[in-house]
Structure formats: C-alpha cells, structure tokens
Amino acid sequence: MDLATSTSTAFLFSLLLLPFSAVAQADDGRVDVGSSLTATNEASPWLSPSGDFAFGFHRHADSFLVSIWFDKVPAKPIVWYAFDDGRPVLAPARSKIELTAENGLVLRNPRGQQLWRSDIATDEAAYGVMNDTGNFVVRSHNSDVLWRSFDHPTDTLLPTQTLEINGKLFSRLNENNFSQGRFLLSLQNDGNLVLNMVNLPTKFVYEDGPFYTSNTNDPANESNSGERLIFDESGNLYVLRKNGLRWYVETGATTPPTPISDFYHRVTLDFDGVFSHYYYSKGSTGVRNWSTAWSQPGNICSRMGERGSGACGYNSICSLNDRGRPTCSCPPGFSLLDPDDTYGSCKPDVELSCREDGRTPMEDLYGITELSKTDWPGVINDYELLRPYDEQECAAACVRDCMCAAAILKDDSCWKKKLPLTNGRIDGGFSGKAFIKITKGGRTPPPSLNLPNVDEEKNKGTLITISTLLGTSMFVNFALVGAFCLGFYSIYKKNLPKVQQIGLETNLQVFTSKELAEATNGFKQELGRGAFGIVYKGTIGMSTVAVKKIDRAVRDANWDKEFKTEINVIGQTHHKNLVRLLGFCQEKDQRLLVYEFLSNGTLADYLFRNPKPSWNQRTQIAKSIASGLLYLHEECSTQIIHCDIKPQNILLDGNYNARISDFGFVGNPTDPTHPLWRT
C-alpha cells in the first residue's frame, strides 16, 4: 500500500468516525457548544468535576433516555430525565444530543429529526456545565444562566434545589416506567404544598382528599403563605413563607446523619406516592444503601377523598409494610386487571349479575368472605345503610342483594357497597369488618340457563301442543322429535352471529364493526390505500392500531372462504419482522383487519426523505426483510409466498426495524380476476 492510499484510507476512516465522536469535556465539568453524545452502550457521559453526577444516555429497554444520575452509587439512580408533557423522551440507538448555540441542548434521532430541546432563553448559548450539585446549566458568553435542569424537575429534588409557586414533581408510573404516574406533589398558587392523586390517562388532578398538605396557605394573612419549597445544602426541606419564616416538611422525623457532606441526599416522590428523604454514605464505610430519613405522608393508605381509587387501584386493599410503604392486594374473588401492575386495579373474577333465573336462591349461588379491620370508607360506594344489624344480618343482606359487592359492618351499622370499591385499606384502628361476596364452589360463574326470550304463555301453549302430538303413536313420536330437532338446529344456526360460525383456530381478538368505528372515530384518519381497501388509524384501549377496511369491490364468490382460511394461517404467524395481525371483524358485509400500528411509516417514505438513510441502515433493513421472507417461505408452519414485495409494503417500527405487511389475502396471483391484477 503506497502513502497516498494509506492517507486516503485514514481520511475515510476518520470521516466514518466523525459523526459518532464528541468534543472532549473539560475537567471543571464544562461542555462547549458543538459537543455531543451519541446513544450507544459504550458512550461516556459528561461528568461533574467530582464525578459524583453524570449527564448522558441511560439505557431503557430498547431505547435511551437523556438523564442525570448519581455516577458513584451502585445502580446509578436517576435524578432527572428529559420529558415532554409528562412523558419520557425515549430515543433510539445512535441518536445524538448536542449543545447548540441557538437552542441549547438538542436531541435528534439517527435521521436528524428533533426529539427534544432545552428551550433556552433568547441569548446565544456558549457552554454548559455539569455541576457537583447535580444541576446541568447552559450559560451565555456572559455566563448568564439560560437553562437549568433544576428548573425542570421530574420526581426528585437535590440539595440547593428549589420548587417555585406552581412547581411540580410527578411520580413515575412504576419503578421501571418513567411515564407520569398517579401522584403529583405541587406548591400551589396559594402557597400550600399538596400531594394529590392523578387520574390516568387524562391527568386530571383529584383535589379533594389529598394524601398530604403542608397547610402553609393563610387567606387571612397572605404574608404567612408559602412562596417556595427549598431543599438546602444542609439537607433540610422546608416551605419558605413570604414573611421569611420556615415550615419544615420533616418536622418530627429522623434527622439525617452528619456531617452532611459525607452523604449523598435526595428527596423523591416515589411511584407508590410516598415522598421521602434518602441518604447514602460517600465513604467506604457507613451506610452503603439508600436509607430513609423521613417520608410523607405517614400513612398513605388513609386518604379519604371521594373521587379516585386511593393509593392502590380500584377494588384493591392498601396496607403498610414494615418500612411504612404501601402494598396492594386484591380481595378474595378478585384478581389484578393488569398482572404486571401490582399497584393497579382489581377486577371481579365473576361478574355479579341481577340476571339470574330467579328460581335459584341467592344463598345457593353466593357466599361471604370475612375480612377483619378492612374498610372501603368512601361514601361514594355506599348505596344503603341498615341498622341496627348484626354480623349475620349484614352478611345475609349483601348475599341476597344482587347489586351488593361488599358490606362494611361497624358497631350495629351495615353499609352495602357497589363496585368499584375505592380507598380500600387495612386499618389496625378500625373496629369493623368487611364482607366480600364470592361465588360458591370457588371462583366459578353462577349457573346460567340462557332461556329463549319468549312470552311465558306462548311457551306453555307450545309445550301443550308438542305433548299432544307426541302422545299419538310411537312412530309419529320419533318422526316429530326428529323434525323438531332438525328445525330447531336450522333456526339456531341461521340466527347465530356470523363471527361465531367461523371456527377460527387462532387467538385473534374478534371485533364488531361498531367497536372499530368507535376506535377509528368514524374512520376519519386515513393512513394509506391499497389494492384491498383503506387503512385507518385508531385507538383500542391504550394502544394505537391500524384498521384496514376491505373494499367490497374486490370480493368474489370465493372471497369469504379465502378470508377465513387466511385469517387462520396469518393468525398463527409470529416473527419480529412481520406486521402483527391483532384481530378482525367479519360481520354481515363488513370485513376489517386490525394490525399493530408502526409509527415510522413505510420504507418508501423513508428512502426518499432527507437526510437519506445511511448504508448501514439500508443494510439492516434489507437483512430484516430477508429474515421475514425466510420465515414466510420456509419456517412458517404453513408456507406463505408474498407476491407483492415493494417499499410500500415494508413498514418501520419506532426503532426503524423493517416489518413486512400485506403478506396474506393474495389468493391466487396467477388468476387475472384477482385484485392484484386489477389496475
């Protein structure tokens, strides 16, 4: 290799490395404009001078989160992260955050699209500093502060940090989910520090029955009202009143160990709603885990608000563990609505119904489980008060009432309660008990006869007529019985909903046309058009979906048979590079397919956007498509030949992974009458 070739190779190699390198950080924590970090597992963060705090990318599942964390503490707990409207800003791998003169910190995905920015003041940024306080600051050429992470807190405050009027801390959804959770701590406009519950996903704040309040609002004397929440350098947290007096949040609590400089400190609104002061020893000896100096409220299970579920979900029971933290459990006859959310709501295993046949005594269908010192005190669930009643009378009254889900007995008063039950708790000071209605024989549904909906007198007349006919002769009896059964079967089959006649061998969800019309808001937002119909964007529960409405014009005499067959086949395909079919609708003349929604559109759009995808990205997409086709052609239990591979039929998920769509419903592509042959 000659010198020119060697030089060219080195030059090209340096060009390849250029986009992924970052300007070196100074020892004083300073970061100049133009410095950047790239989201990779090996990326080094920007450190504070002592190395106590780091700013950079934190790996979160398949994405990365721009955040600040304790760098010398095991598990590196996060104290701040980039968020937008209460949601974490998750970036795909190879995203880049850069300090710019115009906008301060700017986060862009690998395609250069802006995901988040720090929104600095009007002046031009010159540099940033990762301070030993855990505060990242963007400054101008005159060293004026243009943006601070301390001014945009998430769930944590650090020493020297303050919360101004209308400032907020919000809890995470759970330990590993950084989305806004069910609890909000705010310094209200009247100067009162309040911990409230939040309804999700609406984010409506339940202002009645707060979990905690500082009572630092004074309408009679405004100078006595709070104006700022301060976590000072000595580890004290207090509301500073307008008259200069302090109200300490940790009054009567354990004092953090001294000297304060030997420990890391933070106050955090945890996902379970408890606001706590934690400390951790910096040295090699002493406290080597996060210990609690104090926490508020003292008992989060004791909320008495009329709206909202309470510290735990609806129909759940809250109790305190030995650390004073809430644990949630479902009462007998109930189970978690979301098995992965132990702090969430509980659903009844069997629906309580008032549609029984009326012939079976309620006592034969239902029983009672007794829970001592358990209460759902919210009067919003009460619909009847009986007294004077004893235990037997209260339990029996609930069993015999088809609307009663539980009853609370205290002294001689019996409160009947309906679902959903709110603010459930185990209270050692509560002298009463709860009676929970359950089905007898375990958690099995009550018997149901599914009688025809006909007039009782007409039934009697029909039975008399049949009895008379059946009494004529043995031969006639057999003939009439056979004819009766055949006729009944024909009528029954004819009146069955079509969706029940399909007999699909998949676990796909079956939707009604009404449900999908509501999910798509009347089929308003169109995502695209294909040979078979139009695809619309919709929402089912918390998930965004794509609903394909099959055009009636493409159907022929055999189309419905093909539809059933291919639903069976496609419903059993599972591969990371295929668009997943979630469900379908086959109702009267309606044929609809429900797919997962992929946020980054089609490969056709991606290829011709600016900036163009890199060769590495193109290679990865090609490999993903090949992997999906290999599965369809050779690895799937029923081989599927995709007859229409094109960029428009390749979709990209949130991380720009390729997913093949429209790999079914193609029938016989050699048939000139097939839709693929139509123009």
- Report, as residue numbers or ranges, the catalytic residues: 644
User: Token match 């009027």: residue?
Assistant: 165
What are the Cα distances from residue 554, in Å, to 337, 467, 502, 523?
A: 41, 52, 20, 19
| CA dist., res. 290 & res. 116, Å (int) | 32
CA distances from 326 to 130, 295, 313, 332, 420 (A): 35, 12, 12, 19, 20
For 238-273, give one letter per residue: b (16+ CB within 10 A) or e: bbbbbeeeebebbeebeebeeeeeebbbbbbbbbbb
Close Cβ partners of 18 (under 8 Å, ≥ 6 residues apart):
none
List 64's β-bridge partners, or say none.
59, 91
Rounded to an integer, what distance in angstroms lies between the CA atom of residue 227 and that of residue 214? 12
76 is in an annotated binding site: no
CA atoms within a 13 Å half-sphere pointing along the CA-CB vector of 241? 17
- Name the residue type at position 611: P
Q: How far apart are CA 118 and CA 106, in angstroms?
A: 7
Spatial contact of 404 and 394, defined as CB atoms under 8 Å apart: no
**Dihedral Cα 367, 371, 376, 379, nearest 10 deg:** 60
State the Cα–Cα distance between residues 665 and 574, nearest whole angstrom. 17
Strands (E), 90-144: 90-91, 96-100, 104-108, 114-117, 125-130, 136-140
Nearest to 173 by CA among 277, 115, 87, 89: 87
- The alpha helices in 496-614, defined as continuous H runs, are 513-519, 559-570, 603-607
**Greatest pairwise CA separation for the chain in angstroms:** 114
Distance CA 408, CA 377 (A): 9
Q: Distance of CA 167 to CAs 59, 74, 79, 228, 673, Å?
A: 28, 30, 16, 9, 65
382-386 β-sheet, strand order: 366-372, 433-439, 406-410, 413-417, 382-386
Instruction: Give the span between the Cα atoms of 431 and 410, in whole angstroms.
Output: 7
In 188-242, which ranges are E strands?
A: 193-199, 204-206, 212-213, 226-231, 237-241
Contact 448, 441 (CB under 8 A): no
Check if the beta carbon of residue 425 is closer than 8 Å to that of residue 375: yes
H or E element at residue 526: strand 526-529
CA–CA separation, 80 vs 158, rounded Å?
Answer: 10
- Among 499, 357, 508, 372, smallest CA distance to 429 is for 372
Instruction: Please report the DSSP string for 440-490 in residue order.
Output: SSSS-PPP--------HHHHHHHHHHHHHHHTS-HHHHHHHHHHHHHHHHH
Tokens standing for residue 127: 């540099």
Burial of 525 by CB count in 10 Å (0-12 exposed, 13-18 middle, 19+ buried)? exposed
Asked if residues 594 and 541 have their Cβ atoms less than 8 Å apart, the reply is no
Query: Could you tell me which residues come within 8 angstroms of residue 27 by beta carbon, excluding any fewer than 6 positions away?
Result: 49
Instruction: List residues forming the annotated binding site for ATP.
Output: 549
